[in-house]
Amino acid sequence: MVSQNPYKLNVTLPSERQIRLTREFDFPRELVFQAMMSPEHIQSWWGQRGSNMKIDTMDVRPGGKWRFVEHAQDGLEYGFRGEFREIDPPGRAVQTFEFEGMPGHISVETLILEDLGGRTRLTVTSEFDSVEDRDGMLQSGMEQGAGESYDRLSEYLATLKV
């Protein structure tokens, strides 16, 4: 059996309405959490390569809203939004996620950052309202987009490491 590369995105389906993403980073958990929860950092790594990310709103607290707009190379814009439900630095955050191109299809994402002694394992579990919503997300190119974003996050973290 071939082992998974922990530094590449691994996508699994733990239940009919869930998608789980896992990936490791060679950086401390506190730094990964900071880069994932700070607008000034997110705009440097979130989204596809070559795109430009605008952070419209990001209020990192329970009940706080967030909204990002990705300006793609082809000139199109893609909006994403949600609300934070839980923030427990540096190991856990729960938020809703909605792609504005498919309004009303809202998932709940639970982010867990596990300390591996100077490295971090990221696990994001997304819970959908239906199998159809989960499958629609899978068919949207989410795996490629998330994989590229997390590769960009790793590259960006290397610029922050002291």
Any domain includes 113: yes
Any domain includes 93: yes
Q: What is the pLDDT of residue 1?
A: 41
Tally the domains of the chain: 1
Instruction: Count other C-beta atoms under 10 Å from residue 50's C-beta.
Output: 9
Any domain includes 5: no
Q: What is the pLDDT of residue 2?
A: 44
Any domain includes 54: yes
Any domain includes 2: no
Considering the entire predicted model, what is its pTM?
0.93
pLDDT in tens, 54-99: 999 999 999 999 999 999 889 999 999 999 999 999 999 999 999 9
Buried b (16+ CB within 10 A) or exposed e, 84-123: beebeebeebbbebbbeeeeebbbbbbbebeeeeebbbbe
Indicate which CATH number applies to the domain containing 140: 3.30.530.20
Any domain includes 1: no
**C-alpha–C-alpha distance, residues 48 and 73, integer Å:** 9
**The pLDDT of residue 152 is above 50:** yes
Number of H helices, E strands in the chain: 4, 8
Residue 9 DSSP symbol: -
